Protein backbone atom coordinates (compact mmCIF):
# COMPACT_ATOMS: atom_id res chain seq x y z
CA UNK A 1 0.00 0.00 0.00
CA UNK A 2 1.47 3.33 -1.06
CA UNK A 3 1.98 6.08 1.49
CA UNK A 4 0.18 9.38 1.17
CA UNK A 5 2.49 12.09 -0.19
CA UNK A 6 3.13 15.30 1.74
CA UNK A 7 2.02 17.50 -1.18
CA UNK A 8 -0.58 16.95 -3.88
CA UNK A 9 0.20 15.52 -7.27
CA UNK A 10 -1.93 15.16 -10.40
CA UNK A 11 -3.56 11.93 -9.22
CA UNK A 12 -3.90 12.31 -5.46
CA UNK A 13 -4.11 14.75 -2.59
CA UNK A 14 -1.25 15.04 -0.13
CA UNK A 15 -1.80 14.44 3.54
CA UNK A 16 -1.70 18.19 4.35
CA UNK A 17 -4.59 18.92 1.96
CA UNK A 18 -6.53 15.90 3.26
CA UNK A 19 -6.03 16.93 6.90
CA UNK A 20 -7.03 20.54 6.18
CA UNK A 21 -10.16 19.38 4.35
CA UNK A 22 -11.42 17.07 7.09
CA UNK A 23 -10.39 19.14 10.11
CA UNK A 24 -12.07 22.24 8.69
CA UNK A 25 -15.15 20.33 7.48
CA UNK A 26 -15.75 18.74 10.90
CA UNK A 27 -15.04 22.01 12.72
CA UNK A 28 -17.40 24.00 10.49
CA UNK A 29 -20.21 21.47 11.00
CA UNK A 30 -19.60 21.60 14.76
CA UNK A 31 -19.53 25.41 14.69
CA UNK A 32 -22.83 25.48 12.78
CA UNK A 33 -24.43 23.21 15.39
CA UNK A 34 -22.98 25.27 18.24
CA UNK A 35 -24.11 28.55 16.66
CA UNK A 36 -27.59 27.18 15.97
CA UNK A 37 -27.88 25.99 19.58
CA UNK A 38 -26.37 29.00 21.34
CA UNK A 39 -28.69 31.60 19.81
CA UNK A 40 -31.56 29.94 21.70
CA UNK A 41 -29.86 30.23 25.10
CA UNK A 42 -31.23 32.70 27.61
CA UNK A 43 -29.29 34.83 30.06
CA UNK A 44 -29.81 32.37 32.94
CA UNK A 45 -28.46 29.38 31.05
CA UNK A 46 -25.05 28.22 32.27
CA UNK A 47 -23.77 28.17 28.66
CA UNK A 48 -24.97 31.70 27.84
CA UNK A 49 -21.43 33.14 28.01
CA UNK A 50 -19.33 30.01 27.46
CA UNK A 51 -20.90 28.89 24.15
CA UNK A 52 -20.30 32.22 22.35
CA UNK A 53 -16.77 32.38 23.82
CA UNK A 54 -15.97 28.92 22.42
CA UNK A 55 -17.65 29.77 19.09
CA UNK A 56 -15.59 32.96 18.68
CA UNK A 57 -12.30 31.36 19.74
CA UNK A 58 -12.66 28.37 17.42
CA UNK A 59 -13.82 30.73 14.66
CA UNK A 60 -10.58 32.69 14.92
CA UNK A 61 -8.51 29.51 14.78
CA UNK A 62 -10.48 28.50 11.69
CA UNK A 63 -9.81 31.91 10.11
CA UNK A 64 -6.05 31.41 10.55
CA UNK A 65 -6.33 27.83 9.27
CA UNK A 66 -8.28 29.08 6.25
CA UNK A 67 -5.53 31.62 5.48
CA UNK A 68 -2.95 28.81 5.62
CA UNK A 69 -5.19 26.58 3.50
CA UNK A 70 -5.54 29.22 0.79
CA UNK A 71 -1.76 29.64 0.65
CA UNK A 72 -1.35 25.85 0.56
CA UNK A 73 -3.86 25.47 -2.29
CA UNK A 74 -2.15 28.20 -4.31
CA UNK A 75 1.28 26.65 -3.73
CA UNK A 76 0.24 23.11 -4.71
CA UNK A 77 -0.83 21.38 -7.86
CA UNK A 78 -4.47 20.26 -7.72
CA UNK A 79 -5.29 16.67 -8.66
CA UNK A 80 -7.22 16.41 -11.91
CA UNK A 81 -10.98 16.52 -11.39
CA UNK A 82 -12.69 13.32 -12.50
CA UNK A 83 -15.95 13.03 -14.41
CA UNK A 84 -17.62 14.50 -17.46
CA UNK A 85 -16.86 18.05 -18.61
CA UNK A 86 -20.02 19.50 -17.03
CA UNK A 87 -19.26 17.68 -13.74
CA UNK A 88 -15.73 19.08 -13.68
CA UNK A 89 -17.07 22.60 -14.29
CA UNK A 90 -19.62 22.29 -11.47
CA UNK A 91 -16.99 20.82 -9.15
CA UNK A 92 -14.74 23.81 -9.80
CA UNK A 93 -17.58 26.28 -9.15
CA UNK A 94 -18.56 24.47 -5.93
CA UNK A 95 -14.93 24.35 -4.76
CA UNK A 96 -14.42 28.08 -5.30
CA UNK A 97 -17.79 28.92 -3.74
CA UNK A 98 -16.75 26.94 -0.65
CA UNK A 99 -13.76 29.25 -0.22
CA UNK A 100 -15.87 32.40 -0.72
CA UNK A 101 -18.40 31.19 1.87
CA UNK A 102 -15.72 30.13 4.36
CA UNK A 103 -14.07 33.52 4.05
CA UNK A 104 -17.43 35.31 4.43
CA UNK A 105 -18.30 33.19 7.46
CA UNK A 106 -15.02 33.71 9.25
CA UNK A 107 -14.56 37.39 8.45
CA UNK A 108 -18.12 38.24 9.55
CA UNK A 109 -17.58 35.99 12.57
CA UNK A 110 -14.62 38.20 13.43
CA UNK A 111 -16.47 41.47 12.75
CA UNK A 112 -19.60 40.74 14.83
CA UNK A 113 -17.97 40.48 18.29
CA UNK A 114 -15.37 43.17 17.54
CA UNK A 115 -17.99 45.74 16.50
CA UNK A 116 -17.48 47.56 19.81
CA UNK A 117 -13.68 47.67 19.36
CA UNK A 118 -13.13 44.72 21.72
CA UNK A 119 -10.74 41.97 20.64
CA UNK A 120 -11.45 38.24 20.66
CA UNK A 121 -9.73 36.14 23.31
CA UNK A 122 -8.66 32.76 21.91
CA UNK A 123 -8.69 30.37 24.87
CA UNK A 124 -6.33 32.63 26.83
CA UNK A 125 -3.52 31.96 24.32
CA UNK A 126 -3.73 35.33 22.59
CA UNK A 127 -6.22 38.05 21.69
CA UNK A 128 -7.17 38.93 18.13
CA UNK A 129 -7.47 42.73 18.20
CA UNK A 130 -10.47 44.58 16.85
CA UNK A 131 -9.75 46.48 13.66
CA UNK A 132 -13.05 48.25 12.90
CA UNK A 133 -16.01 49.48 14.89
CA UNK A 134 -19.62 49.43 13.77
CA UNK A 135 -22.95 50.89 14.73
CA UNK A 136 -25.55 48.44 16.03
CA UNK A 137 -27.35 48.57 12.68
CA UNK A 138 -24.15 47.77 10.77
CA UNK A 139 -23.33 44.95 13.18
CA UNK A 140 -26.84 43.54 12.62
CA UNK A 141 -26.24 43.52 8.86
CA UNK A 142 -22.92 41.72 9.37
CA UNK A 143 -24.75 39.23 11.60
CA UNK A 144 -27.32 38.56 8.86
CA UNK A 145 -24.53 37.97 6.34
CA UNK A 146 -22.91 35.53 8.80
CA UNK A 147 -26.23 33.70 9.27
CA UNK A 148 -26.89 33.50 5.50
CA UNK A 149 -23.33 32.34 4.77
CA UNK A 150 -23.63 29.61 7.43
CA UNK A 151 -26.83 28.22 5.90
CA UNK A 152 -25.42 28.52 2.38
CA UNK A 153 -22.33 26.62 3.51
CA UNK A 154 -24.48 23.80 4.91
CA UNK A 155 -26.47 23.61 1.66
CA UNK A 156 -23.32 23.57 -0.44
CA UNK A 157 -21.77 20.95 1.85
CA UNK A 158 -24.83 18.73 1.31
CA UNK A 159 -24.46 19.13 -2.47
CA UNK A 160 -20.73 18.43 -2.21
CA UNK A 161 -21.34 15.30 -0.11
CA UNK A 162 -24.00 14.07 -2.52
CA UNK A 163 -21.66 14.55 -5.47
CA UNK A 164 -18.84 12.69 -3.70
CA UNK A 165 -21.16 9.78 -2.95
CA UNK A 166 -22.44 9.78 -6.55
CA UNK A 167 -18.84 9.59 -7.82
CA UNK A 168 -18.10 6.73 -5.42
CA UNK A 169 -21.21 4.56 -5.73
CA UNK A 170 -22.49 5.33 -9.24
CA UNK A 171 -19.47 6.43 -11.27
CA UNK A 172 -17.16 4.20 -9.21
CA UNK A 173 -14.26 6.58 -9.66
CA UNK A 174 -11.58 7.66 -7.18
CA UNK A 175 -12.97 11.10 -6.24
CA UNK A 176 -13.95 10.22 -2.66
CA UNK A 177 -11.12 7.76 -2.08
CA UNK A 178 -8.52 10.40 -2.95
CA UNK A 179 -9.84 12.73 -0.23
CA UNK A 180 -9.84 9.82 2.22
CA UNK A 181 -6.18 9.16 1.40
CA UNK A 182 -6.90 5.61 0.26
CA UNK A 183 -5.14 3.87 -2.59
CA UNK A 184 -7.39 3.33 -5.53
CA UNK A 185 -7.68 1.83 -8.95
CA UNK A 186 -9.13 4.29 -11.44
CA UNK A 187 -11.39 2.35 -13.77
CA UNK A 188 -12.56 3.42 -17.19
CA UNK A 189 -15.48 5.41 -15.80
CA UNK A 190 -13.02 7.59 -13.90
CA UNK A 191 -11.47 8.69 -17.15
CA UNK A 192 -14.71 9.85 -18.83
CA UNK A 193 -14.42 13.21 -20.61
Q: Which of 12-16, 58-62, 127-131, 135-139 has the lowest mean pLDDT?
A: 135-139
Average pLDDT, the chain: 92
pLDDT at 146: 98
pTM higher than 0.85, yes or no?
yes
Tens of pLDDT along 10-39? 999 999 999 999 999 999 999 999 999 999
- Give me the helices (H) in 39-168, please: 50-75, 85-111, 136-166
Handedness of CA 115, 117, 121, 122 (dihedral sign): positive
Q: How many CB atoms lie within 10 A of CB 141?
A: 13
Q: Rounded to whole angstroms, how far apart are CA atoms 182 and 80?
A: 16
Q: Rounded to whole angstroms, how far apart are CA atoms 153 and 133?
A: 26
pLDDT category at 193 given cuts 50, 70, 90 is very low
Interior CA angle at 72 toward 69 and 75, to 5°?
A: 155
Q: Which of 28-32, 145-149, 183-187 has the lowest mean pLDDT?
A: 183-187
Q: Average pLDDT, stretch 136-149?
A: 95
Residue 166 has pLDDT above 80, yes or no: yes
Class of domain 15-184: mainly alpha
Amino acid sequence: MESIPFKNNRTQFGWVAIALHWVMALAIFAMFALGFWMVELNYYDSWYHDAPYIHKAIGMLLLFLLAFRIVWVLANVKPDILGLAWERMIALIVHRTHYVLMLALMVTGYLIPTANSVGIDVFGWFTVPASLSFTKEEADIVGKIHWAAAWAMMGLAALHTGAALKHHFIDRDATLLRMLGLNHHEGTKAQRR
